[in-house]
Amino acid sequence: MTHNAIQRLLLKRFALAAGTYALALLLLWLAFFTGHYDAPLNSVAIGSALVVISQAALFALFYSGCNLRFSDPSLTEAQVLLGLGWQTWLIAHLGDARGAFLVFYVLILLFGLFHLSRRAFIRCAVLVFFSFSTITLWEGYHFQLPNPALALLQVCVLLIVLVWLVLYARYVQVSRQRMRQRRFALQAHQDTLRGMMRQLEDLVATDELTGLFNRRHFLRLASRELNAMDADVVHGLALIDLDHFKRINDIHGHAAGDQVLQAFAGVAGACLRDGDVLARYGGEEFVVLLPDCDAERLTACCERLRIAFTDVELVGLNVRNLSLSAGMTLLELGDDLDDALQRADQALYRAKADGRNRCAAAWENLDA
C-alpha cells in the first residue's frame, strides 16, 4: 500500500476512536447531570476540554504525516494508553454507576486487539486491572465504598473479562499470523505458477532446436506488425532456405544437420537488428521480417546474412560449402500476409532454380 492509502486508513481508524470519545463524553455529562459523577462542574469541563485537545493533537499528527516517522504509524499503544488514562480518571469520580462504565475498558482494549503485540496487549490489560483495583482499594481503605461486596464483584468480573480478552487476543494474533503465512505461501505459489506459465509460453513460441521463434508465433507477430502499420511504412519479408540440407543429413547425419541449423540461427541473430523478427519456418526453411525496411536495406541484410553463412566453420564436422538461398518481398499497408509469403516463396524458388546461394526479390520479377 502507498503512504497515502495507509494514511487514509489510519485517519479512518482515528475517526472511529474520536467518535467513541465523543460518545463517552456524552455519557460523562449525562452521568454528571443525573448525579452519578462525584466532581464539580469545572472538573467535568476541564476533563472534557483535555480530551478534545488530546484528540485534536492526534488528528494534527496524523494529518501532517508525522506519525509515519514512528515504527507504528497508527500509534495504537499510545492511543490505548491515553484512553485508559482518561477512563481511569472517569472511573475514579463515578459512584454507583462505576460498573456501567467498565465496558469502556473493554472497548479501548478491543481498539488495540489487532494492532498491539502480545506483550503490549498484556501490559495494557495489567494496567487496567491495576488501575481499577487501586481505585477500589483506596476507597475501601478510606471507607468510601458504599457497597464493598459489589466493588469486589466488579474487580472479579473485570479480572475474568481481562483474562478472556488476553486469551482471545492471543488466539486472534496466532490466527492472523497463520493467515499471513498462508497468504505468503499462496503468493509464492502464484509467482511460481506465473513463472511456469511464462516458460510454457516460451516453449509454445520457441523452436526447441534453434531457440528461434516457431512458425505459429512468427505468424502471430507478423500479423500484429501488419495491423499496426502506418501508410508510409514498408516492411521487408524474406524466406530463407539452406542449400543442399538433405544431402548434409544423408552424408553427415541428422546431428550434423542440427548443428548447421543452430549455426545459421547464431549467424542470423548477429546479422539482424533489434526489432527484426527471425523464426524457423519449417525444416531447413527460415523466415525473417524487417520492420520499417525498404528494398535496398532488405537486400543488403539478406546478402550480408548469405555471405556470413558461407564463412561458417562447424567444429568437429567436415561440412564444406554451406550456403543459403533467399526470396524477398516488401509489405505495404493493406497487404495480406499469406500473399506476401507466397511472393517470397516464388522468389525463393527462382533463386534456387538460378543456381542457389543467391537472393532473389519478388519486385525483380515484376520489373521483368
149-175 tens-digit pLDDT: 888 998 999 999 999 999 998 888 888
**Distance from the first to the final alpha carbon of the chain:** 67
Which pLDDT band holds residue 234 (cuts at 50, 70, 90)? Answer: very high
- 110-128 average pLDDT score: 88
In whole angstroms, what separates CA 101 from the centre of its chain?
46
Q: Cell 485534536 identifies what position?
A: 56
pLDDT of 203 reads: 66
pLDDT of 330 reads: 93
How many CA atoms does the CB half-sphere of 263 hold within 13 Å?
22
Which pLDDT band holds residue 131 (cuts at 50, 70, 90)? Answer: very high
- 237-248 average pLDDT score: 93
Which pLDDT band holds residue 366 (cuts at 50, 70, 90)? Answer: low
Residue (of 16, 132, 136) closest to 74 by Cα position: 16
Cβ proximity of 302 and 326 under 8 Å:
yes
Residue 129 has pLDDT above 90, yes or no: yes
Residue 119 has pLDDT above 50, yes or no: yes
Residue type (1 letter), 216:
R
Range of weakest confidence among 261-275, 311-325, 350-364: 311-325
Cβ proximity of 123 and 169 under 8 Å:
no
Residue 365 has pLDDT above 80, yes or no: no
Q: Which of the residues are catalytic? A: 284
Q: Cell 516492411 identifies what position?
A: 235
pLDDT of 323 reads: 93
CA-CA distance, 263 to 315, in Å (whole number)? 10
pLDDT of 368 reads: 46
CB under 8 Å to 109, separation ≥6 — which residues?
A: 80, 121, 124, 125, 128, 162, 165, 169
Residue 202 has pLDDT above 80, yes or no: no
Most confident range (mean pLDDT) of 107-116, 323-332, 357-366 is 323-332
Sort residue 319 into left (φ over 0), alpha (ψ -120 to 50) or beta: beta
CA-CA distance, 40 to 43, in Å (whole number)? 5
Please indicate, yes or no, whether the overall pTM of this predicted structure exceeds 0.85: no
Judging by beta carbons within 10 Å of its beta carbon (0-12, 13-18, 19+), is residue 139 exposed, middle or buried? middle
pLDDT, greater one: 233 or 7: 233
pLDDT of 229 reads: 84
